A and B are shown apart, each in its own frame.
Chain A
């Protein structure tokens, strides 16, 4: 199978500064013009094409980037990622309806709330490893949903209605059906998240996470404060999930516990695994494909989980590292004793 990741990386690395800027701008332009392609083969017969671009696609991409910090970079199996999404969304819902704050003001608060809950969950959970961590995070995801379901202030099963849309910014109006505006805003958030992850991966934090993922005890014994870096991974992942949640609430105008089930955690996890754990481009590709296909092909939409399950099983057998696996390349490849 051709190695897409290496090809892409090669093209990128062979560019000078100007070449890279041009490439990046071209990429962003193409992606940003997707809402105009509704009339083409890309159109989705099941739901409105432009709204599909916003949710699930862009939203999945954002969340998958966040979850990838936790699972792909640091190797921490988090099965309750939806909790941070929910916390962001309910922060928006509550503050948006009860106070005069607008979406842009609530965004940092929602992110902070998600990060804070990341710490609260992380301190006990990250002392555990592997399966135990998976189970405790799974529980956390459910607890958040159940709290929302039972707390009067959060509207119980009715949820929160009439959440305000974002106010105009730079003269851009957000109305309930201006999907492309939401899409572009999400694109900005996604670019910010990509920037953050790429920046961190290339530096100390990235190495610390990588060492923890590969051999946590060795990392600790060579001076890596593993617990602190695991908390960081959790908190940064939570911040992205929180941001996605705030924006989601401000887009759908109505949230209820049903929007935040375990299924979301699993879907995002599937995006990460399918695309290529640890590789941000793989994860994005995975989220785009798994977000888009169910709305493009009716059959998949009807049996979404069944198809996803099958796809994952097949992938795990044919390409266990995902579509675009993490970096495994060497600058001076010596095929002879490469294993």
Chain B
């Protein structure tokens, strides 16, 4: 068994009276694709938000590579190796696709503003390398030809893929994908599934939120199911699909239940 990259330990997240996550524990192992599913409002996006530091958890602990993430600044969490996409696309619309990705690759760069100002060779070399790297990532997710287009003018599907390339630009170990296939047709979904597997094969660990069951079950090594903020299953795709509690959560309470 490979080791955990990230562990959520008894994580709870309350918003006033609303409990979005209640005592949730699971981990993501290195080089794994973990599917995170659940009905609308189950708390999936909230999991991403607490991991990336958007919200401070009410109780519990989140451990990434053996160290707690609590109280760490959001950009520092990204620098440690966690990057995400957004359920509702949040690209920088007035920047080109390539610039979107380069901005994220800047995350790990040494040469700051002063070096850049005076055009020191370090800065110029990095600039060149970053550009090449960003283009590589665009090619990797299959949208290389769009590199010079403004993000806001890109077709929807390309924007979704650009979100993934941008997150990969931050060179994360853990990639959080929030419904990357939302709004895709079946053929596009098949393509995306291949891309997600390719991402894992390139050495990333993926935590994937997705509503499309067949897609999740096909690409995930393991699936965690949330319902009303609680974890109700954590198993292989095959077992999860047959789990009565999962079926119940998705189909409502069966009539013969007590």
Asked if B150 is an interface residue, CB under 8 A from chain A, the answer is: yes
Between A and B, 25 residue pairs with Cβ closer than 8 Å are A200-B116, A203-B113, A203-B127, A204-B113, A204-B123, A205-B117, A207-B99, A208-B103, A210-B92, A210-B94, A211-B95, A211-B103, A221-B75, A221-B84, A222-B103, A222-B169, A223-B83, A223-B104, A224-B103, A226-B75, A229-B113, A328-B94, A328-B150, A330-B149, A330-B150
Residues of B close to A205: CB separation below 8 A: 112-113, 116-117
Q: How far is the CA of A217 from the CA of B90 in the complex (A)?
A: 9
CB of B106 within 8 A of CB of A214, answer no
* Count of residues in B whose CB is under 8 Å from the partner chain: 42
CB of A223 within 8 A of CB of B117, answer no
What 6 pairs between A and B have smallest CB-CB spacing?
A223-B107, A223-B78, A203-B116, A214-B92, A331-B148, A218-B90
Contact for A330 among B83, B90, B123, B153, CB less than 8 A:
B153
Known: A330-B149, A339-B153. A221 touches B109 (CB 8 A): no
Residues of B close to A221: CB separation below 8 A: 52, 54, 74-75, 78, 83-84
Q: How far is the CA of A334 from the CA of B153 in the complex (A)?
A: 9
Task: Write the B98-136 contact mask toward A (1 if CB under 8 angstroms, else 0).
Answer: 010011101111011100110100010001000000000
CB A30 to nearest CB in B, in angstroms, measures 27
Q: How far is the CA of A199 from the CA of B109 in the complex (A)?
A: 18
CB A222 to nearest CB in B, in angstroms, measures 4
Q: How far is the CA of A185 from the CA of B170 in the complex (A)?
A: 44
Q: Which of B75, B84, B102, B113 has the most CB of A within 10 A?
A: B113
CB of B93 within 8 A of CB of A199, answer no
Q: Which of B96, B104, B148 has the most CB of A within 10 A?
A: B104
Asked if B66 is an interface residue, CB under 8 A from chain A, the answer is: no
Contact for B96 among A200, A214, A330, CB less than 8 A:
A330
CB of A223 within 8 A of CB of B102, answer no
Instruction: Report which B residues bind A (CB closer than 8 A).
Output: 52, 54, 74-75, 78-79, 83-84, 86, 90-96, 99, 102-104, 106-109, 111-113, 116-117, 119, 123, 127, 148-150, 152-153, 155, 166-167, 169-170
CB of B109 within 8 A of CB of A220, answer no
Residues of B close to A217: CB separation below 8 A: 54, 90
Asked if A215 is an interface residue, CB under 8 A from chain B, the answer is: yes
Residues of A close to B79: CB separation below 8 A: 223
Given A210-B94, A223-B170, A226-B75, 10 new contacts (CB under 8 A) = A199-B117, A208-B103, A210-B95, A214-B92, A217-B90, A221-B84, A224-B103, A328-B94, A330-B148, A339-B153
Instruction: Report which A residues bind B (CB closer than 8 A).
Output: 196, 199-200, 203-205, 207-208, 210-211, 214-215, 217-226, 229, 232, 326-328, 330-332, 334, 337-339
CB of B102 within 8 A of CB of A207, answer yes
Contact for B74 among A203, A220, A326, A332, CB less than 8 A:
A220
CB A333 to nearest CB in B, in angstroms, measures 9
Q: Which residue of A lies closest to B154 (CB)?
A: A337
Q: Which residue of B lies closest to A220 (CB)?
A: B74
CB B242 to nearest CB in A, in angstroms, measures 36
Q: Which of A211, A327, A337 has the most CB of B within 10 A?
A: A211
Q: How far is the CA of A226 from the CA of B94 in the complex (A)?
A: 18
Contact for A218 among B86, B116, B149, CB less than 8 A:
B86
CB of B107 within 8 A of CB of A222, answer yes
CB of A220 within 8 A of CB of B148, answer no
Q: How far is the CA of A33 from the CA of B146 in the complex (A)?
A: 45
CB B48 to nearest CB in A, in angstroms, measures 10
CB of A204 within 8 A of CB of B109, answer yes
CB of A338 within 8 A of CB of B92, answer no
CB B93 to nearest CB in A, in angstroms, measures 6
Q: Which of B102, B153, B169 has the most CB of A within 10 A?
A: B153
Q: Which residue of A lies closest to B127 (CB)?
A: A203
Known: A222-B83, A223-B106, A226-B75. A332 touches B149 (CB 8 A): yes
Q: Which of A207, A217, A226 has the most CB of B within 10 A?
A: A207
CB A278 to nearest CB in B, in angstroms, measures 9
Residues of A close to B169: CB separation below 8 A: 222
Q: How far is the CA of A314 from the CA of B95 in the complex (A)?
A: 28
Known: A200-B116, A204-B111. A224 touches B106 (CB 8 A): yes
Q: How far is the CA of A337 from the CA of B102 in the complex (A)?
A: 24
CB of B116 within 8 A of CB of A222, answer no
Q: Which residue of A lies closest to B149 (CB)?
A: A330
CB of B75 within 8 A of CB of A220, answer yes
CB of B149 within 8 A of CB of A334, answer yes
Q: How far is the CA of A207 from the CA of B96 in the complex (A)?
A: 11
Residues of A close to B96: CB separation below 8 A: 330
Q: How far is the CA of A291 from the CA of B226 in the complex (A)?
A: 62
Known: A215-B90, A221-B84, A222-B167. A207 touches B113 (CB 8 A): no
Q: How far is the CA of A166 from the CA of B218 in the complex (A)?
A: 75
Q: How far is the CA of A199 from the CA of B111 in the complex (A)?
A: 14
CB B90 to nearest CB in A, in angstroms, measures 4
Known: A211-B103, A223-B107. A337 touches B153 (CB 8 A): yes
Q: How far is the CA of A217 from the CA of B84 in the complex (A)?
A: 12
Residues of A close to B152: CB separation below 8 A: 339
Residues of A close to B119: CB separation below 8 A: 199
